[in-house]
């Protein structure tokens, strides 16, 4: 894996796009359709769709993606493509089964209106397999004619493949067939346990470990042929050795937007999430996210599990009473001191107050901090700062592992020193800042140390692991209510952690938090080193 490849992919996936649904109908009846519950046979009005297209462009999107149902069934599909071009979209794409493009002249008219790219949903390498899955006799041949027509018009064509128990053994055959047809880009999609996919679960779902050999063969084939491959919702551990293919975690925002009303009602109003069933959750890409949300939602009952990150410039000192652990950005020490004094003046103290520092704390800040917190922790990633704050009376030390400041450093630290990873939100930030867990810790401690949200395989001897959730104060909208978008950002930054399939042999598997997703995308699953016996 090239260390920069996932950064390039992140840039592509973060491109601002405008997704617009045109229809709630389809001329296929796919066995795995997760959207079938909202397919009522209707098409949206021209004015409604046109308004969304114009608004998307005003919001700064450059790429317009038309979807359904089957978007080409809309009687004014060509007009929507033309409108997208007229309002200034630089790239217009459709996600389609492609059958309508087989009709005489349709591909020509759509291409002339401004269509640049078509993503075809193709799930087999022959009629028997594809038609069985889409449940339309002749659908495969019709889609191929549509694909050929668009290619002849100069349109970019790529292929989506929904992986399931019926086609997983034939994945290389599917790629090979469409490569022969001229396709060079593929997206491999994982099943979603909703709609007909869940109704047909006994036919379609398979154990991920069972599909591992076929997925690895397909990846090797794609590398030989120098194909562009994307993945959508695949469990990350399936991609050990091909970590650059792990889906960008920011795509979770798309999943959240698709179920926003239901998630917010569950998170903030206690309404039951109808899909929250063990059998279904085991098959769902969002299960780690929902589990993390559930822990956050219960923070007012188990506050010691959640640490709140506060910026004194933007956070009120009137924090909810359940907050017992605060990480305070203290680079502006005067602002941090004022925050601590105001909080302490309320007659309240948090159990643990962590000051995130670039320079040693002033006496004023230390005095204010002691009024606001029972345990004071001085945290920094700056080597020069570490040397100066070691031994400050009545404080503990946290060293934030950072590639730029920790490389080659050797420090002596007291027993009880805490270590944590630098918090990184993106792949590019990870490449710039993240500490490689395969390196030895840059500190020689005089006794046991704490690894906060770090797997113990990083430093198995004389170490204690502590696991907790971490969110920003901007996630709070009330005492027991939360901002879903901000929580999603913090899940990507801190909560989304993964482990290797090999980790299942580790004696600490049940206790391990795993590694941050972007750290694994950058360094690979080789950072996971299962421990064979208790330490």
- Residue spans of the domains in the chain: they are 5-247, 289-527
**Cβ atoms within 10 Å, residue 287:** 16
Residue 349 backbone class (left: φ over 0; alpha: ψ -120 to 50; beta: rest): beta
Indicate the helix (H) or strand (E) that contains 187. Answer: strand 185-189
Confidence label for 5 from pLDDT (cuts 50, 70 and 90): low
Is there a contact between 31 and 203 (Cβ–Cβ < 8 Å)?
A: yes
User: How far apart, in Å, do the first and last CA atoms of the chain sit?
Assistant: 33
The tokens 């030895």 sit on which residue? 440
Per residue in 453-480, is it b (16+ CB within 10 Å) or e — as a string? Answer: bbbbbbbeeebebeeebbbbbbbbeeeb
What is the pLDDT averaged over residues 279-308? 87
More confident residue, 304 or 356: 356
Which residues, other chains included, contact 20 with Cβ-Cβ below 8 Å and sequence gap of 6+? 49, 52, 53, 56, 64, 65, 66, 67, 80
Structure tokens at 483: 């901002």
Question: Class for domain 5-247, per CATH?
Answer: alpha beta
Confidence label for 2 from pLDDT (cuts 50, 70 and 90): low
Average pLDDT, the chain: 93
Percent over 70 (pLDDT), the chain: 95
Q: Which residues pair with 512 in a beta bridge?
A: none
Report the alpha-carbon distance of residue 154 to residue 532 in Å, rounded: 56
pLDDT for position 7: 65
* H-state helical runs in 155-207: 171-180, 195-199, 201-204
pLDDT for position 318: 77
pLDDT for position 407: 62
For the chain, what's the residue count?
A: 535
Report the alpha-carbon distance of residue 399 to residue 420 in Å, rounded: 7
Report the alpha-carbon distance of residue 391 to residue 259 in Å, rounded: 50
pLDDT for position 406: 64
> Does residue 304 surpass a pLDDT of 70?
no
> Does residue 116 surpass a pLDDT of 70?
yes
């Amino acid at each position: 894996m090239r260390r920069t490849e996932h950064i390039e992919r992140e840039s592509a996936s973060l491109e601002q796009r405008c997704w617009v649904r045109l229809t709630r109908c389809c001329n296929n009846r796919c066995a795995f359709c997760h959207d079938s519950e909202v397919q009522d046979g209707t098409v949206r009005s021209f004015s409604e769709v046109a308004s969304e297209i114009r608004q998307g462009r005003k919001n700064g999107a450059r790429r317009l993606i038309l979807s359904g149902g089957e978007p080409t069934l809309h009687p004014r599909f060509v007009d929507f493509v033309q409108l997208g071009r007229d309002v200034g979209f630089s790239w217009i794409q459709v996600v389609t089964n492609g059958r309508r493009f087989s009709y005489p002249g349709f591909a020509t008219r759509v291409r002339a209106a401004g269509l640049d790219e078509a993503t075809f949903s193709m799930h087999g390498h022959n009629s028997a397999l594809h038609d069985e899955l889409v449940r339309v006799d002749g659908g495969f041949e019709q889609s191929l004619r549509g694909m050929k027509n668009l290619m002849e018009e100069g349109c970019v064509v790529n292929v989506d493949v929904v992986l399931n128990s019926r086609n997983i053994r034939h994945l290389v055959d599917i790629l090979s067939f469409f490569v022969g047809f001229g396709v060079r880009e593929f997206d491999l999609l994982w099943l979603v346990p909703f709609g007909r996919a869940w109704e047909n679960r006994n036919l379609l779902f398979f154990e991920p470990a069972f599909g591992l050999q076929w997925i690895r063969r397909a990846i090797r084939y794609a590398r030989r042929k120098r194909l562009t491959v994307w993945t959508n919702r695949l469990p990350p551990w399936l991609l050990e050795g091909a970590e650059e293919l792990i889906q960008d975690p920011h795509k979770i925002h798309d999943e959240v937007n698709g179920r926003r009303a239901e998630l917010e009602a569950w998170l903030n109003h206690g309404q039951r999430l109808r899909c929250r069933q063990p059998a279904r959750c085991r098959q769902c890409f969002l299960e780690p996210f929902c589990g993390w949300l559930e822990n956050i939602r219960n923070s007012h009952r188990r506050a010691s599990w959640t640490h709140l990150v506060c910026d004194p410039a933007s956070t009120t000192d009137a924090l909810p009473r359940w907050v017992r652990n605060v990480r305070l950005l203290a680079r502006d020490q005067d602002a941090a001191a004022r925050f601590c004094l105001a909080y302490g003046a309320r007659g309240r103290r948090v159990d643990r107050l962590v000051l995130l520092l670039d320079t040693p704390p002033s006496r004023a800040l230390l005095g204010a901090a002691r009024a606001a917190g029972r345990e004071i922790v001085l945290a920094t990633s700056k080597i020069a700062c570490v040397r100066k704050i070691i031994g400050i009376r009545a404080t503990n030390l946290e060293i934030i592992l950072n590639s730029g400041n920790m490389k080659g450093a050797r420090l002596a630290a007291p027993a009880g020193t805490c270590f944590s990873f630098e918090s990184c939100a993106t792949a590019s930030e990870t490449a710039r800042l993240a500490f490689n867990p395969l390196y030895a810790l840059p500190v020689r401690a005089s006794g046991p140390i704490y690894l906060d949200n770090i797997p113990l395989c990083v430093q198995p001897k004389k170490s204690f692991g502590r696991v907790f959730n971490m969110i920003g104060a901007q996630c709070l909208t009330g005492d027991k209510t939360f901002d879903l978008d901000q929580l999603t950002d913090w899940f990507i930054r801190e909560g989304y952690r993964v482990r290797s399939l090999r980790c299942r042999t580790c004696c600490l598997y049940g206790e391990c938090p795993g590694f941050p997703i972007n750290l694994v995308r950058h360094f690979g699953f080789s950072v996971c080193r299962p421990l064979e016996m208790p330490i």
